[in-house]
Amino acid sequence: MKRRDFLKSVTAVAASGAVSAPAVFSPAKAQSRAETLLIVSESGPNNVDIHGVGTNVPGYEVSWNCYDRLISHEMKTVDGTAYYDRDKFKPELAEDMNVGDMSATFKLKKNATFHDGTPVTAKDVKWSLDRAVSVGGFPTFQMSAGSLTKPEQFVVVDDHTVRVDFLRKDRLTIPDLAVIVPCVMNSGLVQKHATEKDPWGLEYTKQNTAGSGAYRVASWTAGTEVVMERNDKWVGGPMPKVKRIVWRMVPSAGNRRALLERGDADISYDLPNKDFVELKGAGKLNIISTPYSNGIQYIGMNVKIPPFDNPKVRQAIAYALPYQKIMDAVLFGLAKPCFGAPAGKATEVAWPQAHGFNTDIAKAKALLAEAGFPNGFETTLSFDLGFAGVNEPLCVLTQESLAQIGIKVTINKIPGANWRTELNKKVLPLYTNVFSGWLDYPEYFFIWCYHGKNSIFNTMNYQSKEIDGYIDGAVTAAANGDKPAYEKDVKGFVDVAFADMPRVPLYQPYVNIATQKNISGYQYWFHRRLDYRALVKA
């Protein structure tokens, strides 16, 4: 039965007084159904302000759609899906951007207003950027990734002009102004609710949106639903087509699938891979799969803990991993392999890219013997239970495969709440994890994950003067626009990472989205959440 027929028949049944279901009782409601998008997902936001203390990832989605930034990205098409263009920026609240040598000047749109009608001024922009670099925690961390750390960097030139001064030459400064964090808030409204203990008004923005964005939160019941309504006065871009977004939390994956298949829900992401593959096969829904930009699931080895301090052992592990089995049995093909590059293939100036290792038990055994472990050894393989759906089978397959070269692996399941604490201690010898960066630049990934300054994402405790030289070189070359030097350095650090193998990249995970056939306009963004502004319901 088609969706429309179904709705009609339900309306008819309901009108005849029988006790029946999806409560579309009146034509008025059917009308609102056509203008409303129903999104179902496992969990919802805990805070609608990305500057908040411990705002979770669903909260980022609300922030993205309800606030504007000075600039955003243009779109391009990759494999048939609209995909944000890393290198092209478009104005959002700004109408004009002028990037100079050591500063960038933004002219604001004069007709831009916040949801309560107050005009957006340069003062609001400065206050919001000051807030982002001052509140601490994740937002401040993210701003610092683009060398934005001090309030003095943001200067009000006049009512509608803001200048951002650069701390140093950094290629990531402008892209960092287009991520979710530097959103512009209604400073007057928020300050009204600020207190001495809470000078940035975090308590107020936790519950209320105070932005100028395309949507505003109409109601929010934590853990149950978020209702967002279109801001008809939005000037940040073309007027969105969907009037109302209803985002319901449905914890059971089976029910999310049933809701989609029955045509009651319009969009869902976060279903198990197996469901996505089956739904794709059935052909009743649109399934869009896009690899994480700058994100990799990997097997990490702590190079400070023997025997993983021996590069030969690490290479042996890289030859013993069951790559293809993981792709087939765990991910059902829904991931982009990072292994098995043909021998002699030149290193690319790109990240992620495939390494040359593939499952080869004989080679692995030989390498292990060379390293002085002909009979293998014992170790522990840890994973995050919060993502057990993928991690558990992945680790079991790895355990089986490593047993073939004599390595006895005990699996250590760590509860989600405890995972980061354990990982940050850097005492796990062998583990699997995902890292992904919002800013899609190879050197950005390597600064965090491989550089000797040993950030928390360098979970391997990896130190190498050689790789540090290449990474620092690439950062400087990028800032100065020296392309040949940049390419040489990127190839350099990728080569070192693949020869030394402190972590073995497995694959780029996919973001999977299932929508009804009448929904179009999905865009892939670096944050991997939905952009409602482009969605269309036919």
Should residue 374 be labelled a site residue for another protein when binding is judged by CB under 8 A? no
How far is residue 318's CA from residue 327's CA, in Å, rounded to a whole number? 15
DSSP helix/strand/coil, 222: coil
The nearer residue to another protein, 192 or 453, going by C-beta atoms, is 453
Residue 362's contacts (CB-CB under 8 Å, 6 or more residues apart) are none
Burial (CB < 10 A; 0-12, 13-18, 19+), residue 74, is: exposed
Using CB under 8 A, which of the segments 125-133, 139-147, 350-358, 504-512 binds another protein?
A: 139-147
Binding to another protein by CB under 8 A, coded x per residue (else -) over 50-79, reads: --xxxxx-----------------------
> Taking Cα atoms as reference points, which of 10, 535, 8 lies closest to residue 286?
535
- CB half-sphere exposure, 274, CA atoms < 13 A: 7
Measured from the CB of residue 313, what is the shortest distance to another protein in angstroms? 29
Should residue 380 be labelled a site residue for another protein when binding is judged by CB under 8 A? no
Measured from the CB of residue 95, what is the shortest distance to another protein in angstroms? 31
The nearer residue to another protein, 323 or 435, going by C-beta atoms, is 435
How far is residue 97's CA from residue 178's CA, in Å, rounded to a whole number? 12
The nearer residue to another protein, 8 or 163, going by C-beta atoms, is 8
> Which value, to the nearest 10 degrees, does the dihedral of the CA atoms of residues 436, 442, 444, 445 take?
40
> Taking Cα atoms as reference points, which of 141, 184, 137 lies closest to residue 164?
184
Measured from the CB of residue 438, what is the shortest distance to another protein in angstroms? 8
Residues 388-417 that bind another protein (CB under 8 A): 415-417
Binding to another protein by CB under 8 A, coded x per residue (else -) over 13-42, reads: ------xxxxxxx---x--xx--x-x-x--
Residues in the chain: 538
Using CB under 8 A, which of the segments 87-95, 247-255, 319-327, 344-352 binds another protein?
A: 247-255
DSSP helix/strand/coil, 66: helix
The nearer residue to another protein, 244 or 312, going by C-beta atoms, is 244
How far is residue 187's CA from residue 436's CA, in Å, rounded to a whole number? 32
How far is residue 295's CA from residue 351's CA, in Å, rounded to a whole number? 9
Residues 422-451 that bind another protein (CB under 8 A): 424
Residues 304-333 that bind another protein (CB under 8 A): none
What token pair was written down for 409?
């692996």
Should residue 262 be labelled a site residue for another protein when binding is judged by CB under 8 A? yes
Candidate residues 178, 245, 246, 299; the one interacting with another protein per rule CB under 8 A: 246
Candidate residues 8, 11, 34, 46; the one interacting with another protein per rule CB under 8 A: 46
Measured from the CB of residue 249, what is the shortest distance to another protein in angstroms? 6
Should residue 47 be labelled a site residue for another protein when binding is judged by CB under 8 A? yes
How far is residue 114's CA from residue 100's CA, in Å, rounded to a whole number? 29
Using CB under 8 A, which of the segments 222-230, 232-240, 496-504, 506-514 binds another protein?
A: 222-230
Using CB under 8 A, which of the segments 158-166, 217-225, 364-372, 519-527 binds another protein?
A: 217-225
**What sign does the CA torsion over 511, 517, 519, 520 have?**
positive
- What beta strand segments (E) does 146-254 contain? 154-158, 161-165, 215-221, 225-230, 244-249
Measured from the CB of residue 76, what is the shortest distance to another protein in angstroms? 26
Measured from the CB of residue 241, what is the shortest distance to another protein in angstroms? 19
DSSP 385: G
How far is residue 155's CA from residue 163's CA, in Å, rounded to a whole number? 5
- CB half-sphere exposure, 484, CA atoms < 13 A: 0
Should residue 161 be labelled a site residue for another protein when binding is judged by CB under 8 A? no
Measured from the CB of residue 209, what is the shortest distance to another protein in angstroms? 14
Measured from the CB of residue 112, what is the shortest distance to another protein in angstroms? 28
> Taking Cα atoms as reference points, which of 200, 380, 181 lies closest to residue 299?
380
The nearer residue to another protein, 10 or 371, going by C-beta atoms, is 10
Measured from the CB of residue 224, what is the shortest distance to another protein in angstroms? 4
The nearer residue to another protein, 108 or 185, going by C-beta atoms, is 185
Using CB under 8 A, which of the segments 77-85, 170-178, 223-231, 344-352 binds another protein?
A: 223-231
Residue 363's alpha-carbon distances to 287, 354, 360, 375, 413, in angstroms, are 39, 19, 6, 14, 30
Measured from the CB of residue 122, what is the shortest distance to another protein in angstroms? 29
> SS3 string of 232-294?
CCCCCCCCCCCCEEEEEECCCHHHHHHHHHCCCCCEEECCCHHHHHHHHHHCCCEEEEEECCC
User: Which residues form the interface with another protein (CB under 8 A)?
Assistant: 6, 19-25, 29, 32-33, 36, 38, 40, 45-47, 52-56, 136-138, 140-142, 206-207, 221-225, 246, 248-252, 254-255, 258-259, 261-262, 264-265, 415-418, 420-421, 424, 455-456
